[in-house]
């Protein structure tokens, strides 16, 4: 998490400068930070916007439920469920292959870290629709096997280090 926190100021700067459709999609998430600048909120906003910044869809990883309705996730290969009504801390769980494998993860950043651990421990493949997001998690944030980067992730790394 400290690596993510170290990249956060530069990532927020890059995200605020992003234009086009991705920039428009990021704006509501960034606006949350105006009202709530806790570290957990910042991490959540950075991770969700990182997915958008990389041209992927945040809903492919995160499923949010504000009203507490339990949906059927039997078709979900790899999902982070976030249940909450806004008044209290959300209940964050990890679903792998349709089954909840971890509950009460506290926040989305911690759930992402735990998910990476599960992926490594269970030798799972990253979902193809989030390949750049997981590459950033693995190679930039966790500093694992960072020698060979895709062009998109290499570009992000260059921007983070300038």
| Among 54, 48, 46, CA closest to 8 | 46
Listed in sequence order, the residues at least 6 apart from 111 whose beta carbon sits closer than 8 Å to its beta carbon are 80, 92, 93, 94, 102, 105
What percentage of the chain reaches a pLDDT higher than 90? 74
Nearest CA-CA partner of 45 in 6, 8, 87, 1? 8
Q: For residue 43, what are its two tokens? A: 């991490």
- Show me where the domains of the chain are located: 2-160
The two tokens of residue 32 are 């949350």
Ramachandran area for residue 60 (φ above 0: left; ψ -120 to 50: alpha; else beta): alpha
pLDDT digits 0-9 by tens, 85-125: 666 778 899 999 888 999 999 899 999 999 999 999 999 99
């Amino acid at each position: 998490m400290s690596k993510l926190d170290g990249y956060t100021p530069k990532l927020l700067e890059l995200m605020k400068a992003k234009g086009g459709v991705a920039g428009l999609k990021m704006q509501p998430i960034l606006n949350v930070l105006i009202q709530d600048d806790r570290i957990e909120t910042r991490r959540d906003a950075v991770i969700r916007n990182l997915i958008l910044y990389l041209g992927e869809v945040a809903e492919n990883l995160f499923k949010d439920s504000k009203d507490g309705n339990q949906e059927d996730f039997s078709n979900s290969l790899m999902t982070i469920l976030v249940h909450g009504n806004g008044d209290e801390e959300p209940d964050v769980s990890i679903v792998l292959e349709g089954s909840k494998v971890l509950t009460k993860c506290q926040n989305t950043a911690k759930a992402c870290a735990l998910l990476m651990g599960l992926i490594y421990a269970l030798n799972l493949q990253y979902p193809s629709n989030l390949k750049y997001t997981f590459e950033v998690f693995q190679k930039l944030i966790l500093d694992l096997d960072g020698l060979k980067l895709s062009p998109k992730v290499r570009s992000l790394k260059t921007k983070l280090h300038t």
